[in-house]
Amino acid sequence: MIPFLKVALTNLFSKPSTVKYPYVPVEAKPRYRGRIAYDGDKCVNCGMCVKVCSPGAINRIYKDTEDGQDITYEFDHTSCTFCGMCQDFCDEGAITLTTDYHMVATDPEDLIVRGVCHKVNPKGNISCNTDLCVYCTLCAKKCPSGAITVDRAAKTWTVNIGKCTKCGACIKTCPKKAVYFAEPKPQVVVCGDDCVYCTLCAKKCPEEAITVDRAAKTWSFDASKCVQCGKCVAACPKKTLSFADGE
Amino acid sequence: MINVLATIKIIVKTLIFPGAFFAMAAGLLLAGIDRKVLARMQKRIGPPVMQPTYDFFKLMGKETIVPHAANRRVYMAAPVVGFVSLAVMMLFIPIGGWCAFTGDADLIVILYLLTIPAVALIVGGSASGSPFAGIGISREMVTMMSYELPLIIVFLAVAKKVGGDQLFFGFRAITNWQIANGPMIAQLAMIPAALAMLLIIPAEVGTQPFDVAEAETEICEGPLIEYSGAPLGLFKLNTAVKMLVMTSLFTALFLGGITSGIHTGITLWGIAIVDHILRALIHVAISAVITVVSMTTIHAATARLKIEHLFKFYWTAVTGLALISLILVWIGF
Amino acid sequence: MFKKIIAASTAKSPWIYHINTGSCNGCDIELVAVLTPRYDAERFGFKLAGTPRHADIVVVSGPITSQSKDRLIRTLEQVPEPKVVVSIGSCPKSGNVFKGSYSVEAPLDKYCKVDVSIAGCTPKPEAIIEGLYKAAQILKEKREAMNK
């Protein structure tokens, strides 16, 4: 009892160790996982976050728009475990768990973070109807990435598909309305001859569209499940996966 | 006419000073000081000094629930009886050498009145019909038995010291003796009794190491388990007023007459009001110091005892201290 | 005037009763941490009450298991008016990772009105202080509504 008395009396004449919290703001430590911040511009709607979220706190609402879809992501903080898996699995860096810990609400709606990801329907490649084209070179001049080359003398019109960003500036500027987006062809993932059946692509696929059987050395792809996020192509160690037009 | 004035005086004494209102205000203030100093001893900032007052007023505004199993009348009357007895006790205890009522056997009356708040707690708890309250009241009874014995011996020692050949139980005699011979605590023979009294105060009030009867973490506040709203507020008020009563009792017994030297000579309606106010303020300040010494420091440095340890502690250590004083006084020190 | 004093005191003296309905203890520890010298919620008059009869604010943690459901409802009924229910952590509001289990009966909203919900798994003690402070203000509003 005597040592405790000593501590009590020394405490009485020393400064209290209390943090004067509501009057003095307190910052959380740098890696604290608090309120989720979602950046819809970066998101590619791969759905990996929804898949890894163990309490099922992420919800997607789809809404069709003129040129694609608006996908509203709802992060429900009354359901979240703040494990940070969605952040870790988001390759695009669209999800971050901020250090904001002030998640107190009288209305549960305040605890839901919403963000809209806009997905444009895939467009076909730029092409030119040479029957209408007068080779005025306006489209080439307007192209922001310099993907179009027009030779007035030789009367040729070529487009570099690799450079084209499908912005549509050439279509708007064409006086003859000759430039257009060709009908999109369904994109599929194809596997080349170098495949070693490592299953990495299957593991990375958020929609389980790829199945690889290591023993039987088969690689199969389900086009109906694919969302064309490109994760498998990026993950392939042999660089043998690629997008292709077709069924 | 004189009768009317006397009646008004008695009513003022009972209801305002030093009765109900003064006891309430000073008791709540002491409880606040206790909580604040305790917090500082635990390296916290602690609640405002007004906190027990806020608690009291909040409880007054809460819904009062009477359980089905309870005896409604006894259940509601118990805290009131406790408070009334405490307020009456304040009339007998001298404040700055002056007390409202005085007689030849004040200490005996106080001894009986002191048991009433504890009995009120026991009766109220048993009326609530909760098994937790059952455990609580059995503990409260044991606690009462433990501190009553040394308390009686302390009273005897003081009475013998004042009386010489006989026993003087009146506060007027005790105060006058102390004005003449200096405070009781300065007497060598009375120091053990004063120590014993300091150790009796926390048990009587029911603060930390001796709050076995109301242990909120193990038996859910014991006798108070079913109480809510205004009766609970009154019980909390009783605890606070007990602090004032017990510390005042210590002041009267061992530090009596310290403030009796104050004379400003200002009178209103024939009463020396300024003197009374000054003395009351000094009295409350002394009470606060005793609260901090006897309750807060012990609270901060100890954990709750078991009921058998409490009983053993009071009937050996504290009774021993009181007995030493009594024997020393008896043989003439 | 007396009623005004009572309403003002109600906001300054909220007593907490904590119910654990199958929580992992994370939220419970953080709630206790709020009362330690470092955070010291007693500055605002918060105190842990031993019985629901003394409580003003009921703090519920855990995903409400089937076993604790009846006890929770009974305890909530024992609290005298005015009372405020605070859910702490994700579990009482949704069931968190236990959602959909055969033995979990979340959310708490099915049984009573949740006045303040503190999100986090577990919330920081600062967030809990903030939530309880908000709860105390709601308590005062409820007391004032009782006057009318």
Residue A247, pLDDT > 60, answer: no
Provide Rg for chain A, Cα atoms: 28
Q: How far is C20 from chain B (nearest CA, A)?
A: 15
- State the fold for domain A187-245: Alpha-Beta Plaits (3.30.70)
- Residues whose CB is less than 8 angstroms from the CB of residue C93 and which lie 6 or more positions away in sequence, other chains included: A78, A79, A108, C87, C106, C107, C108, C109, C114, C117, C119
- State the fold for domain A30-120: Alpha-Beta Plaits (3.30.70)
User: What is the longest distance spanned by two Cα atoms in chain B?
Assistant: 59
What residue segments make up the domains of chain A, in order of their start? 30-120, 126-181, 187-245
Residue A97 pairs with which residues in a beta bridge?
A36
pLDDT at B267: 67
What residue segments make up the domains of chain B, in order of their start? 2-330
Q: Could you tell me the sign of the dihedral formed by the alpha carbons of C8, C9, C13, C18, in that order?
A: negative
Closest chain A CA to residue C116:
A106
Q: Please tell me which residue, A153 or A243, carries the higher pLDDT value.
A: A153
- When pLDDT is cut at 50, 70 and 90, the band that residue C58 belongs to is very high
Does residue C114 sit at the B interface (CB-CB below 8 Å)? no
> In this predicted model, what pLDDT tens digit does every residue of A148-162 receive, in sequence order?
888 888 888 888 777
Size of interface A-B (CB pairs under 8 A): 36
Residue A220, pLDDT > 80, answer: yes
**Which of A5, A7, A11 lies at the smallest CB-CB distance from B40?**
A11
Determine whether the interchain pair C9/B61 forms a contact, defined as Cβ–Cβ distance below 8 Å: yes
CA distance A243 to A187: 6
Nearest C-alpha neighbor of B40 from the set C129, A13, C36: A13
Measured in whole angstroms, how far is the alpha carbon of residue B96 from the centre of its chain?
Answer: 17
What residues in C contact B62, CB-CB < 8 Å? 56, 80-82
**Which of A4, A5, A18 lies at the smallest CB-CB distance from B44?**
A18
Cα dihedral C69, C73, C75, C79, rounded to 10, equals 150
CB count within 10 Å of CB A129 equals 13
What residues in B contact A9, CB-CB < 8 Å? 41, 297
**Which of B42, B57, B221 lies at the smallest CB-CB distance from C37?**
B42
Determine whether the interchain pair A105/C121 forms a contact, defined as Cβ–Cβ distance below 8 Å: no
* Contact of B201 with B287, CB cutoff 8 Å: no
Does residue B300 sit at the A interface (CB-CB below 8 Å)? yes
Average pLDDT of span A59-73: 80
Determine whether the interchain pair B37/A12 forms a contact, defined as Cβ–Cβ distance below 8 Å: yes
Domains present along chain C, CATH in parentheses: 2-147 (3.40.50.12280)
What residues in B contact A7, CB-CB < 8 Å? 301
pLDDT at B261: 65
pLDDT winner (highest mean) among A67-71, B8-12, B303-307, C133-137:
C133-137
> In this predicted model, what pLDDT tens digit does every residue of A202-218 receive, in sequence order?
888 877 888 888 888 88
CB count within 10 Å of CB B3 equals 7
CA distance B27 to B4: 30
Q: How far is C10 from chain A (nearest CA, A)?
A: 19
Closest chain C CA to residue B215:
C50
> In this predicted model, what pLDDT tens digit does every residue of A24-44 receive, in sequence order?
788 888 888 888 888 888 877
Whether the model clears a pTM of 0.95, i.e. scores above it, the answer is: no
Measured in whole angstroms, how far is the alpha carbon of residue A61 from the centre of its chain?
Answer: 16
Q: Please tell me which residue, C66 or B273, carries the higher pLDDT value.
A: C66
- Residues whose CB is less than 8 angstroms from the CB of residue A5 and which lie 6 or more positions away in sequence, other chains included: B297, B300, B301
Nearest C-alpha neighbor of B95 from the set B29, B171, B24, B201: B171
Measured at the CA of B140, the angle between CA B136 and CA B144, to 5 degrees, comes to 175
- State the fold for domain A126-181: Alpha-Beta Plaits (3.30.70)
Which of C10, C44, C53, C78 to mutate to test binding with chain B, by most B CBs within 10 Å of its CB?
C53
B307, amino acid identity: I
* Contact of B153 with B326, CB cutoff 8 Å: yes
Q: Of all helices (H) and strands (E), which one includes residue A115?
A: strand A112-120
What residues in C contact B35, CB-CB < 8 Å? 42
Closest chain B CA to residue A14:
B43
Residue A242 pairs with which residues in a beta bridge?
A190
Nearest C-alpha neighbor of B128 from the set B242, B222, B230, B240: B222
Show which subunits contact A, needing at least 3 CB pairs below 8 angstroms: B, C
Q: How far is C7 from chain A (nearest CA, A)?
A: 20
What is the layout of strands, in order, in the sheet containing C57-61? Answer: A104-105, C116-118, C84-88, C57-61, C15-20, C47-48
Q: Please tell me which residue, C69 or A176, carries the higher pLDDT value.
A: C69
Calculate the average pLDDT of chain C.
Answer: 87
> In this predicted model, what pLDDT tens digit does every residue of C117-130 receive, in sequence order?
888 888 888 889 88
pLDDT at A122: 63
Regions of chain B with pLDDT less than 50: none
Average pLDDT of span C43-67: 88
Determine whether the interchain pair B228/C10 forms a contact, defined as Cβ–Cβ distance below 8 Å: no
CA distance A94 to A105: 25
Does residue B302 sit at the A interface (CB-CB below 8 Å)? yes
> In this predicted model, what pLDDT tens digit does every residue of B70-123 receive, in sequence order?
788 888 888 899 888 888 888 888 876 677 777 777 888 888 888 898 888 888
What are A13's two structure tokens?
């004449």
Which of A14, A103, A107 to mutate to test binding with chain C, by most C CBs within 10 Å of its CB?
A103
Output DSSP code: residue A183.
Answer: P
Helical axes B191-205 vs B229-254, angle rounded to 10°: 180
b/e C98-133 (16+ beta carbons within 10 angstroms → b): bbeeeebbbbbbebbebbbbbbbbbbbbbbbbbbbb
